[in-house]
Structure 1
Amino acid sequence: MVALNSRIPGILFCGIAWALGPEAYGEGVTVEDVENSAGLGLGQKVAVIGEEKKVRTATVNIQEIFRSYHKVAHAEGEINIERARVQKEQNQQAVKLRAMDQVLRELECSLQGLNNSDVRRQDLEREKGVRFHERERWKRQRAVALKASHADINRRMVARMEVLLEEIRSLVRLEAERMGFDLVFDIEGTGSSQVPFLLFARDAHDITPRIIKKLAESAPQGAQR
């Protein structure tokens, strides 16, 4: 029984060796084979590394492009015209307010010229009260209307500028793809801490001049800067 147990490992080894062939005994495997196998693996790794595509990076200054875009200047001009119209209306309303104040001052002067027993005093005091409340109501209404006008102008301005920004972003994406860039960073872009996202980029290509030139090509005659 002991002899049989001692023969089991040898039998198993022979069976495995027979299944694997001569390589299990080291037969037919030379040093050159091992070196060639190792060299093949290393060569494959080098080939994979060599095939890895280098990431091409570009930078762009969106703020500079935005300031130079002819549509932005045109939009700002229209917004300024609208603000001037609101300011003109405000000035006209200020003239009306001064006229109402003048009426109140005249009523006050008339009251001061009457004694307490004068029968006209009650009517003048009533008229003064009516005029005063009318002035206050009109003043509040004008303040609300003026605030709403400015809010509407600001809302339309923000919406319009956002459209122009999207036009710029779309052109940046298109040109970056045409030029074969993988990443484009806005050098003026900042996070919540007001720190720029990009502080350094090796071999990054600045495509800002190209974008400005492309946008300028769409400007009407006389609008190019």
Structure 2
Amino acid sequence: MFVDCLDIYAQAAFATIRNPNLYMTLLRRFLSMALAASLITMAGAQEAKIKIATVDMQELFKQYYRTNEAQKQINLERARIQKDNNERLGRIRELETNLGNLKKQIEDPSINDSKKQTLFKDWQMQQQEGIALDRERREFLQRRNQALNEKMVQRMKGILEEIRKLVEEQAKTDNYDYVFDKSGLSTSQVPFLLYTKDATDITAGLLKDLNKDAPAESAPAEEEAQAPEAGE
């Protein structure tokens, strides 16, 4: 079940690129599933006394330097896609300008019919070229965006798996019976974990471990323009 949760969380993480609201929805779904699984397991426990810890998975994911590096890479890919798209659009805009000029000449009563026929054939050729270029541009955007989505979802999934393993190792080291994600919210935006007696928050220590090898220049990525949709 946790593997399925990681798939949802990875998609949610990547969704920040395109739709922050979708990100939060998917993220909460992941957290809800993970917490529900823990609660079911806990309900069947027979021990009279258990040792519990809490962790903020959202905070760990957002503040992990590898997440920031992944976001920066996404932004670079966005910029490349945007640059290529702008170049293609530039050529299409040139054709549109030429088509406008040709149309004016065709409609000019001072130009003879023979010349107009030649101009009309030229207009038709450039119009077809423009249609083909725009179709190619849209297909290019669709391919590049899809490839970027797949690549980054897999990378986010790998990052989440690293965090999960670290949480598990810490739980075993400190002999915790259960570790609950305190950032988990229900569909009604109410925290699942409303109260836990004698629970220890291990988020700060885990975050320190995650970022112990972070490069000095590593920092949260700045928000940049989103990659254009295929229809733009």
Post-superposition offset of 1:64: 0.5
- Residues 65-114 of structure 1: per-residue CA shift (max 9 Å, x gap): 11111111111111111110111111111211111111101211110124
Q: How much does 1:128 deviate?
A: 1.1
1:191–1:155: structure 2 CA closer, same or farther, 3 Å change rule? farther
> What is the deviation of 1:129?
1.6
| 2:228 pairs with 1:220 | no
CA shift, 1:218, in A, is: 2.3
Query: C-alpha separation between the residues in 2 aligned to 1:220 and 1:131?
Result: 52
Structure 1 residues 221 and 119 mapped into 2: Cα distance closer, same or farther (>3 Å)? closer
Residue 113 of structure 1: aligned partner: 108
Structure 1 match to 2:135: 140
Rounded to whole Å, the distance in 2 between the matches of 1:93 and 1:65 is: 40
Query: What 5-or-longer segments of structure 1 have no aligned partner?
Result: 1-51
Aligned residues with identical type, % of pairs: 36
Question: What is aligned with 2:97?
Answer: 102
Choose the corresponding residue for 1:208, options 194, 203, 210.
Answer: 203
- CA-CA distance at 1:224 after TM superposition: 7.4
> TM-score, with normalisation over the residues of structure 1?
0.71
* SS at 2:211 equivalent: helix
TM-score (norm 2): 0.69
* 1:197 is aligned to 2:219: no
Distance in 2 (CA, whole Å) between partners of 1:116 and 1:95 is 30
Structure 2: 5+ residue stretches without partners = 1-46, 221-232
SS in 1 for 2:54: strand
AA aligned opposite 1:160: R
Aligned counterpart, 1:68: 63
Residue 150 (structure 1) shift? 1.6
1:14-163 maps to which residues of 2 (within 5 A)?
52=47, 54-114=49-109, 118-163=113-158
Higher helix share: 1
Deviation at 1:126, TM superposition (A): 2.0
Counterpart of 1:165 in structure 2 is: 160
2:182 aligned residue: 187
The answer for the alignment partner of 2:7 in structure 1 is none
Q: Distance in 2 between matches of 1:129 and 1:120?
A: 14
- Offset of residue 130 of structure 1: 1.9
CA contact (8 A) 1:114 1:121 kept: no
The worse-fitting range, judged by mean Cα deviation, of 80-89 and 130-139 is 130-139
What value does the CA root-mean-square deviation take over the aligned residues?
A: 2.2
Moved segments of 4+, more than 6 Å: none
- Equivalent pair of 1:216/1:224 in contact (CA under 8 Å): no
Aligned partners of 1:213, 1:111: CA distance in 2, in Å? Answer: 71
